[in-house]
Amino acid sequence: MNLKCPLYINGQFIETPEKQNIVNPSTGKVIAEASMASIKEAELALSAAREAFDYGPWPQFSLFERKEFISKLAQGILDNAGMLAALETQNTGKPIKETTFMDIPSSAKTFEFMANNFIDYLDNEEINVSAETKAELIREPMGVVVLIIPWNYPLLIACWKLASALAAGNTVILKPSSLTPLTALELAKIIHNAGFPAGVVNIINGSGAKIGETLCADKRVDMISFTGSNETGKQILQYSSKNVKKMIMELGGKSASLIFNDVDLEVAVNSSLASIFLNQGQMCTAMSRIFVQEEIYDNFLASFAEKAKRIKLGLADNPETQMGPLISDAQRKRVIAYIDKARAEGGRVVCGGKIPENAELINGYFFEPTVLVDVSTHSHIFKEEVFGPVVLMHKFSGSDEAASLANSVDFGLACCIWSKDLLLAQELAGKINAGTIWINTYGMFYNELPYGGFKQSGFGKELGREGFLEYTRFKNVIVDQSPDGKPLVNYWYGF
């Protein structure tokens, strides 16, 4: 272990007395030592971000100057792409193929897209309310924004939030998950080298239990954008209620994939495998419930299970690996507990359901891709997010039943519909209570399009024009243009 990872506060890299060993989930070995923020460092970051917004140059920069800074971050990520991909793989257990071709390029493209588009999103609007009154609607930055990032897509989700927050003119405090802080702390070097003014971006690794309340309750913070579990989201909402502030909450999911009998079976099976087993199932949009029309259910299940057994588990840095380890032993134990409970409630494991016996994988947190059937719609695993490589398979008769099954949980993040009948699919999409509906595909995120869920999956959007505007506030400036310079209010008391 030789990688040391300091915090980044007010333009300075800061080592703290408290350190944390960062473990490679593939091997269980320590790969880095990261500084941990205490309340002291959280206070420093809050003060730096507030000072930088209220008195620093960043909010006063022209939009074109801001664009140059955002563009530098896109280029900086690309210039360091190989290193960042390897680091993300070592820290998260994601297969190197995923980090190389998905996570890192997508992170750079997020900044590139925002640099090229945010100026158009900020056009002021003039409204002539009457002959005497004109109004100008102005978009301004929110102020100080706290960005709290999950461990499943550490760099990518950090970039989703940073690109919008910075382009809008905010100053930020970024808190990555303490399980996976490495690429966020490495991003601090790219930000520093890009010449951002001190205090505009502060990146602090720390335990949510220790610094979460300090960051989320403080009145110096104008907005919080959080992606993570429902449990943590509810805690953040409680903290934030002490001083009112704007929130974006991107929480959990229990998404459904609806497979109709007219599909190309091979395409639907292959795509459905990716929809649940990509990133080891550790995705909030994972299609963890697959409903198949009864005419093709048996064939779909047989093909899906047979191919799931062939997915190559392996060390994440091996280019041939298709599925890596879970993030931690604790997460693996959580997955196993859900499967045990599902069995106790009548569910049956068709394939997987256990730790692999391969000696090469013995020190990592690996778990086999798992398919469950005969799971009751009232069972815990049907309704609750597992966040692992576990999928439930059910059959349905028609589109009304499919919609009912998809909507029968508390979450509303995403849904897949597979059918050659696009009219049926589009009509069904209107009945599904979820923020993103994919028809005949899965997992296609576009910087042009907003992303976010309904119900217990949260509120607010990331990405696109709508996601960018979340990081702004709307000001209404009203100008009276009465011909004699005497507005109506002048006559109210008649003096």
Give the H/E segment covering residue 60. Answer: none
Half-sphere exposure of 344 (CA within 13 A, CB side): 8
Residue 140: domain span: 3-251+457-477
Same domain for 421 and 391: yes
Task: Judge whether 56 lies within some domain.
Answer: yes
Task: Judge whether 273 lies within some domain.
Answer: yes
Same domain for 247 and 283: no
Same domain for 238 and 268: no
Catalytic site includes residue 351: no
Half-sphere exposure of 55 (CA within 13 A, CB side): 4
pLDDT for 485 equals: 86
Pairing of strands 223-227, 144-148: parallel
In angstroms, rounded to a whole number, what is the distance separating the alpha carbons of residues 54 and 45? Answer: 14
Task: Judge whether 492 lies within some domain.
Answer: no
Catalytic site includes residue 385: no
CATH number at residue 378: 3.40.309.10
Residue that terminates a domain, selected from 388, 413, 439? 439
* Segment 331-335 long-range contacts (CB within 8 Å, at least 24 positions apart): 331/282, 331/365, 331/387, 331/388, 332/365, 332/366, 332/367, 332/388, 334/386, 334/387, 334/388, 335/367, 335/386, 335/387, 335/388, 335/389, 335/390
Task: Judge whether 288 lies within some domain.
Answer: yes
CATH number at residue 161: 3.40.605.10
Please tell me the total count of domains within the chain.
2
Task: Judge whether 424 lies within some domain.
Answer: yes
Same domain for 389 and 245: no
How do residues 383-428 score in pLDDT, each as one tens digit? 999 999 999 999 999 999 999 999 999 999 999 999 999 999 999 9
Which phi and psi (to 5°) does residue 129 adopt? -70, -40
Same domain for 247 and 269: no
Same domain for 82 and 53: yes
Per-residue pLDDT of the chain (495 residues; tens, 9 = 90+): 579 999 999 999 999 999 999 999 999 999 999 999 999 999 999 999 999 999 999 999 999 999 999 999 999 999 999 999 999 999 999 999 999 999 999 999 999 999 999 999 998 889 999 988 999 999 999 999 999 999 999 999 999 999 999 999 999 999 999 999 999 999 999 999 999 999 999 999 999 999 999 999 999 999 999 999 999 999 999 999 999 999 999 999 999 999 999 999 999 999 999 999 999 999 999 999 999 999 999 999 999 999 999 999 999 999 999 999 999 999 999 999 999 999 999 999 999 999 999 999 999 999 999 999 999 999 999 999 999 999 999 999 999 999 999 999 999 999 999 999 999 999 999 999 999 999 999 999 999 999 999 999 999 999 999 999 999 999 999 999 988 888 888 888 876
Pairing of strands 125-128, 7-9: unpaired
Same domain for 117 and 266: no
- Ordered alpha helix ranges (H), 220-262: 230-240
Same domain for 469 and 427: no
Same domain for 221 and 261: no
DSSP state letters, 334-367: HHHHHHHHHHHTT-EEEE--S----GGGTTS---
Same domain for 274 and 287: yes
Catalytic residue among 98, 250, 385, 462: 250
Catalytic residue among 5, 159, 216, 284: 284
- The encoded tokens of residue 281 equal 């199932």
User: Helices then strands (H, E): number in the chain?
Assistant: 16, 23
In angstroms, rounded to a whole number, what is the distance separating the alpha carbons of residues 435 and 454? Answer: 6
Task: Judge whether 446 lies within some domain.
Answer: no
Task: Judge whether 444 lies within some domain.
Answer: no
Task: Judge whether 449 lies within some domain.
Answer: no
In angstroms, rounded to a whole number, what is the distance separating the alpha carbons of residues 333 and 190? Answer: 36
In angstroms, rounded to a whole number, what is the distance separating the alpha carbons of residues 21 and 175? Answer: 17
User: Which distant-in-sequence residues (6+ apart) come within 8 Å of 467 by Cβ?
Assistant: 160, 164, 450, 451, 452, 461
Same domain for 261 and 288: yes
Same domain for 260 and 137: no
Which phi and psi (to 5°) does residue 401 adopt? -65, -40
- Are the beta carbons of 118 and 168 closer than 8 angstroms? yes
